[in-house]
Chain A
């Protein structure tokens, strides 16, 4: 199973998932012990420059193929796979570029996050509305142009105005975006690429959960 993800082989991953269900294995255990280690390995190899974006995407596709078999089986048992967190993604108003944002979404999904992709040319209020509706943990805002990256500030303000700022972490990314810009507009995090975005989201949610525990 691990290897089918590393190989980026959706057919093999799907077949192995079906086989596991047929043998009566616990779908959750199959996901966590069978397929997730493959994604972790791919992430490590990417960091070492031994795997590249197409490999990463293929691995994510294989992961998705396995989940498409295993998650319905879980639901049949009346269970849900615990999500690592809910993430809303979108590209700012006036910007129609989507590769970077889609890549982040694919990798987050493969790593156990529930992702809702609002698409491109998204108004700030849409981000806020969907975050409220889904009780999102993270809102990720992408922008490819220096002219449209200002829309990221508008999203921060919209989340603020909706009274969600305390519960929603906001992350930004895109070619012209820098850490300094993220700080300037009051975002919670910036990632330079899709891999770092997964790590960033993990860290932010860890902080969030620590704070929740402390305040409880």
Chain B
């Protein structure tokens, strides 16, 4: 039996959804996109000067056409990520501006070379089902910041990608890159390799960009992952239940816009909810209440039968220390027990302000433990102990039993040397172990084989997107002398 955790009583889920529908009907949501307003108004929403009120029936109709599950595929067309049911996957946190420097252990602006290293480490770790466009590369102009990250991921990885656009024109570039990678827009629709995070602004504001983003993705039939971010006590009601209501209302509004644009387009009930720390004014991602919010939000989405996402496995510590291990490890376990389909956040420190490849390597261990946990305690033989005792008697020589050898790999997870289980005469610090492991992993990385035709198609798109820009610099791609 698989262990599961539900943080909300069923009756509470019903009340949360009732309030969310009521919130949309009475207060409504801001919608910045004229096209989205038109779609909603034509479908029966009440459009006023500064908000759009959605009748419950409208949102419910949208829910009826949403796919209950979908898959993300690898470059070779293998199903890798199953969004749906209680399947659990992990990817690194995304869009971080800074990196914890591997030499100095100090934060600094992230560069393309940092993102490339993180992609390569993520690629060789099976615990991460998907890549993310993890960092904003500060060595390229911000005008290409979003699609350039995706290009690097596509260039160095075969895995599915959790990504997101910074503007509508660049969203089209990203969709073009993905279509080139898949072999055409129709193939991309059939076997999507990426999901796009789309973020409403709390409270209840679907900005021009966010709403239009949902529409464009829907029309391309590319999955959208709504990342609603209520901050309990600041941009959302202070109670956890209140923030979960707001999250639900924001997701319902986004889904309604998306389904009106293209019924049946895939969507994820996702988020990065957090509490607002009343002492410091920070948004602690490692707080237990933040984890509780993530679990509650996901449970509401699950009650509607939708694919889910959450933001966990991050820490607010600024270094690899006990706090980082505690916060990230704890939330990895909770997210896995809750059956959240995609859990983002691994590798992140300092309130999501800093990424760390060494922390990603540490978080992999927490994730592997969480994955082991949800495999549960399994009946693997006809008898659990009687058969073994029949062979050893009270001598207890279990180590030599054939079934020990046959089953120990299924029963036990073996962590890497990042986890200190050895009586080394000269114990190394956690940082040193993670650093060493990072280099070991990087040494095993091989760039995937990409056909020259695909590479050229992607580079042609990049080239067109850079026309008129002062810079023609593509670090990481140029360094391989490929263009």
Contacts and interface: CB of A to CB of B under 8 A. Distances in A.
Interface residues on chain B, size class? 10 to 19
Given A49-B414, A52-B408, A52-B414, A57 B423 contact: no
Contact of A54 (B405, B416, B424, B425): B405
Contacts of B405: 8, 54-55, 57-58
Nearest to B403: A54
Nearest to A60: B400
Nearest to B401: A54
B399 interface: yes
B464 interface: no
B425 A179 contact: yes
A54 B404 contact: yes
Nearest to A179: B425
Interface string B387-429: 0000000000001101011001100001010000011110000
Interface string B418-448: 0000111100000000000000000000000
Nearest to B395: A98
A103 B399 contact: yes
A179 B425 CA distance: 7
Interface string A5-42: 00010000000000000000000000000000000000
Contact of B423 (A52, A54, A178): A178
A57 B425 contact: no
A41 to B, nearest CB: 17
A192 B424 contact: yes
A61 B402 CA distance: 11
A57 B408 contact: no
Nearest to B409: A52
A103 B399 CA distance: 9
Nearest to A99: B399
A118 interface: no
Contacts of B422: 192-193
Contacts of B424: 192
Given A8-B405, A58-B405, A53 B423 contact: no
B221 to A, nearest CB: 43
A49 B404 CA distance: 17
Interface string B4-28: 0000000000000000000000000
Interface of B: 399-400, 402, 404-405, 408-409, 414, 416, 422-425
Given A55-B405, A178-B425, 6 more contacts: A8-B405, A52-B408, A52-B409, A53-B399, A54-B400, A192-B423
| A-B pairs with lowest CB-CB distance, top 10 | A54-B405, A192-B423, A54-B404, A179-B425, A57-B400, A58-B405, A54-B408, A57-B399, A54-B399, A55-B405
